[in-house]
Amino acid sequence: MAVVLLPSLLATEAGGQQRFELEADTVAEALRSLPIANLIFDEHGDLRRLVNVYVDGVDVRDAGGLDAPLTGNETVRLVGAVAGG
């Protein structure tokens, strides 16, 4: 089971649930199964530009991208980029 952790705004949108335990073969599959998938991906399926994804603390862009396989023990953390005011 991979664990996905959401920041507070996304957890609110997910009905208050901040931690998800998921069976998924890839990072993308795990993220697309979340109830807040349409907030982190745009309508064409692209990850929004300011959404950062870390797998066991490593930016997924530097670790195989969203298609990187999950073995089942990873912690995937979603972090919104510092933006706004």
DSSP 3-state of 58: strand
Q: Which of residues 21-40 bind another protein (CB under 8 A)?
A: 38-40
Looking at beta carbons only, is 1 or 32 nearer to another protein? Answer: 32
CB of 82 to another protein, least distance (A): 9
Q: Closest Cα to residue 42, out of 50, 17, 62?
A: 50
Site of interaction with another protein (CB under 8 A): 8-10, 12-13, 38-40, 42-44, 48, 50-51, 80-81, 83-84
